[in-house]
């Protein structure tokens, strides 16, 4: 056999975001210059299957993962998934740079109860040396991430039901940071110490992350999202949830939809972004950000980019991490682009293939 038609053994992982409305799957390849989207699928989840970052219905999530995997037509079984929310604690600590990895592990285990508010036997801990401390070169800066073991195990169990394996368990905020590197941001947002606000507006939750030099320095979650718009459409026009969602995406709704429903909701989104930033400013010495990135499904609302930019006087972009990527033939490019703002986490996870 020449192996002409046999695929090279790939070392990629499937990036899988298990969110409250869907499981989102993405596979990337990288040829040194350019990323290519190899596989992509989104499989919707019924309400309640995943709530507040926790899997509450293992069977349903497992089945959705299985469907997404087969829809994507990827043969890869190794995945990267992420945990997030209150179950996750990340902290940078300083330790003597001379310590070996084993010694660091021991010391972290001894000190961890100072900043981890859960019984340590219920917690999975990982750490990574970031580099030497700028202030004291004899110290290393070590990033410690801890997560309720149960949250990791539920994700592993759901993946296993679908014949998939958790090769990497990451933290959502890190996946987002990684994905942000791909965005074509303006020059002022590339300068050292500049601040980028990433606002992820999902269905239930809006998360503001402020990123400086590639690291998240502030996070705030608000219970606000596109579900409120769906509910208002349902209420006003007497539609089912599915009908309202479809109308929201197609725009095929009664004439007064734009002025009476969409405009007030868009105003509310702008206000949420503005308030989120006010909270950040009041808790830090900053009073401005250099650039705003809008992500999550609700960022696709028509006109939102312009309205946020006008109201806040800052450059704004709706995230599309695939803007400069190639796309494999089997991937539906149009759908991928339409969903791009909601795929930041899946994309940041898929990038773990190239560590």
Ligand X SMILES: Nc1ncnc2c1ncn2[C@@H]1O[C@H](COP(=O)(O)OP(=O)(O)OP(=O)(O)O)[C@@H](O)[C@H]1O
Both tokens of residue 14?
Answer: 């499937």
Which one, 202 or 276, has the nearer CB to ligand X? 202
**Closest distance of CB 245 from Mg ion, Å:** 16
Q: Could you tell me which stretch among 12-20, 31-39, 125-133, 333-341 binds Mg ion (CB under 5 A)? A: 12-20
Site for Mg ion, residues 165 to 204, rule: CB under 5 A = 202
297 binding partner (options ligand X, Mg ion, none; Cβ < 5 to 8 Å by kind)? ligand X
Q: Is-contact 30 328, C-beta < 8 A? A: no
Among 12, 16, 19, 244, binds Mg ion (CB under 5 A): 19
Q: Which residues pair with 166 in a beta bridge?
A: 79
Measured from the Cβ of residue 105, the count of other Cβ atoms closer than 10 Å reads 14
- What burial class does residue 236 get, using C-beta atoms within 10 Å of its C-beta: 0-12 exposed, 13-18 middle, 19+ buried? middle
DSSP calls for 74-137: ----EEEEEE-GGGEEEEEEEEETT--HHHHHHHHHHHGGGT--S-GGGEEEEEEEEEE-SS-T
Residues that bind ligand X (CB under 6 A): 19-22, 202-205, 225-227, 230, 245, 248-249, 296-298, 300-301, 342
Residue 206 binds Mg ion (CB under 5 A): no
Which among 160, 162, 141 is positioned nearest to 152, based on CA atoms? 160
Q: CB-wise, 66 or 202, nearer to ligand X?
A: 202
Task: Give the DSSP letter string of 199-223.
Answer: EEE-SS-EEEEEEETTEEEEEEEES
**Do the beta carbons of residue 26 and residue 14 sit within 8 Å?**
yes
Stretch that binds Mg ion, among 11-19, 72-80, 151-159, 210-218 (CB under 5 A): 11-19
Which of 15-23, 155-163, 212-220, 241-249 is the region at the interface with Mg ion (rule: CB under 5 A)?
15-23
Q: Find which of Mg ion, ligand X, none residue 167 binds, CB within 5 to 8 Å per kind.
A: none
Nearer to Mg ion, 51 or 120 (CB): 51
Taking the complex as a whole, how short is the minimal distance between the CB of residue 224 and ligand X, in angstroms? 9
CA-CA-CA-CA torsion sign (47, 51, 57, 62) = positive
Beta carbon nearer to Mg ion, 123 or 210: 210
203 binds, among Mg ion, ligand X, none (CB under 5 to 8 A by kind): ligand X
The encoded tokens of residue 83 equal 């945990």
CB of 346 to Mg ion, least distance (A): 10
List interacting residues with Mg ion (CB under 5 A).
Answer: 19, 202
């Amino acid at each position: 056999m020449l192996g002409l038609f046999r695929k090279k053994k790939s070392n990629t992982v499937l990036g899988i975001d298990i969110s409250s409305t869907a499981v989102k799957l993405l596979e990337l390849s990288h040829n040194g210059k350019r990323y290519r989207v190899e596989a992509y699928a989104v499989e919707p989840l019924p309400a309640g299957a995943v709530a507040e970052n926790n899997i509450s219905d293992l069977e349903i999530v497992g089945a959705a993962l299985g469907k997404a995997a087969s829809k994507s037509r990827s043969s890869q079984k190794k995945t990267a998934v992420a945990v997030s929310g209150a179950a996750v604690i990340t902290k940078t600590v300083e330790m003597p740079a001379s310590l070996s990895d084993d010694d660091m592990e021991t010391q972290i285990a001894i000190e961890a109860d100072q900043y981890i508010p859960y019984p340590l036997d219920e917690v999975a801990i990982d750490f990574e040396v970031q580099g030497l401390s700028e202030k004291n070169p004899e110290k290393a800066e070590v990033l410690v991430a801890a997560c309720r073991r149960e949250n990791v195990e539920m994700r592993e169990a759901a993946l296993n039901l679908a014949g998939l394996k958790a090769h990497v368990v990451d933290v959502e905020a890190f996946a987002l940071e990684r994905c942000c590197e791909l965005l074509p941001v303006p020059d002022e947002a590339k300068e050292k110490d500049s601040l980028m606000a990433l606002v992820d507006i999902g269905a239930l939750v809006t998360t503001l992350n402020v990123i400086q030099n590639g690291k998240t320095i502030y996070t705030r979650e608000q219970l606000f999202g596109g579900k409120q718009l769906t509910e208002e459409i349902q209420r006003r026009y007497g539609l089912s949830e599915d009908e309202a969602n479809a109308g929201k995406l197609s725009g095929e709704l009664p004439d007064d939809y734009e002025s009476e429903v969409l405009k007030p909701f868009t105003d509310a989104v702008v206000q949420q972004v503005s308030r989120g930033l006010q909270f950040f400013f009041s808790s830090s010495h900053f009073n401005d950000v250099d650039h705003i990135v809008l992500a999550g499904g609700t960022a696709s609302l028509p006109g939102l980019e312009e309205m946020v930019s006008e109201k806040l006087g800052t450059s704004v972009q709706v995230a599309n991490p695939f803007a400069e990527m190639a796309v494999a033939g089997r991937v539906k490019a149009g759908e991928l682009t339409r969903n791009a703002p909601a795929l930041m986490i899946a994309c940041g996870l898929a990038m773990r293939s190239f560590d």
